[in-house]
Amino acid sequence: MHPIKARRTHYSERGPVPQDVISTVDFELPPLAEGHVRVAVLAAPINPSDVLTLTGEYGILPPLPAVGGNEGVGRVIEAAADVTNLALGTVVLLPVGCGTWTTHLDLPAKHLVALPSGVDPVQLSMLTVNPPTALLMLTEFVDLQPGDWVIQNAANSAVGGYLVQLAKLRGINTINVVRRASAVDAVKASGAEHVVVDADDLPKRVHAVTGGAPIKLAIDCIGGVATENLARCLVEGGTLVNYGAMSGERCMISPRYFVFRDITLRGFWLSQWFKKATPAQRMAVFGEIAKLIAEGKLEARVQATYDLDHIKQAVQAAASGARDGKIVLEPNGPSRAAI
């Protein structure tokens, strides 16, 4: 049996240009420990949080040196003699934060979740971060019913695309705000019916779309004046949830919306939810999302896939503000037909 050629991404410093600090290196796999399985990584996305981790701007930073990547899926290719719960060939969800931009990982079998077979691993690889973020923001803050409206900006982001699909499955209407006209067609192609470009007159145009129906929930990933533009679209007593600052600016919102309109501004970070959720709650969310992906009811736009030899180009593409889809790594080569 030929030894496995293992490779992984590596960074030992952080800096303002994320692709400059990361590279791909060879490494040797140790003997497989008891209770562990060896997993060949099939696909692992590059999320905004991954880019911010490389620049040092994210809320949690791993100690250096580190391997890139926070989520992904792999296939079990070897198991210790005492492992009985995972058969060879099983596709598994990789634990959050385990350094997924690598060809191989040795992981405790008890921490792995088996996933449906016969499903595109590129789509499954994005299961852990963006779909739960969209689902939880849609369900945890406001009790929305079929026919209700929700407005979001950054609608061309991965979270935005998932939110459109999840809302539609629940009979909830969405107003989808983007920052550039060139993004409108891609958002509509993902299933969004109402897409508008952000501007000072956003509330007027939103009112024309909804016919004046109340909007109880707004979801903001931009910050800056975009936060207030969403707040102006909300009904009295509405809730605005922020989960990012793509503008690089703090949320700007006049006190009058808090005082006279009783608007509530909340924050959402999936890592905090993970800390508080029970294992049963986490499994329920992952189970619902995995089922929808397997059934073809939930997917993300993918702009391009890369191998590890092109990690710098992949990170640069992921950091670009003009993307119309996700950047995904396939560390062992194209895997879509491999399951």
Query: Tokens 């503008």 sit at which residue?
Result: 247
pLDDT reported for residue 339: 38
pLDDT reported for residue 2: 58
pLDDT reported for residue 337: 38
The answer to whether 68 touches 11, Cβ cutoff 8 Å, is yes
| Three-state secondary structure call for residue 228 | helix
Tell me the domain boundaries of the chain.
6-126+300-329, 130-271
pLDDT reported for residue 324: 74
- Residue 268 burial (10 A CB sphere; 0-12, 13-18, 19+): middle
Q: Say which DSSP state 296 is in.
A: T
Of the candidate CATH numbers 3.20.20.190, 3.20.20.100, 3.40.50.9100, 3.90.180.10, the domain formed by 6-126+300-329 belongs to 3.90.180.10
pLDDT reported for residue 186: 87
pLDDT reported for residue 338: 39
pLDDT reported for residue 17: 97
pLDDT reported for residue 59: 84
Cα–Cα distance for residue pair 308/57, rounded to 1 Å:
24
Q: Say which DSSP state 251 is in.
A: B
Q: What is the mean pLDDT of each run of 10 residues along the chain (339 residues)?
A: 83 97 96 96 95 92 95 96 94 94 96 90 94 96 97 93 96 96 89 94 96 97 96 97 92 94 96 91 91 93 95 95 85 66
User: Active-site residues: which are they?
Assistant: 58
Cα–Cα distance for residue pair 119/152, rounded to 1 Å:
29
Fold adopted by 130-271? Rossmann fold (3.40.50)
pLDDT reported for residue 335: 65
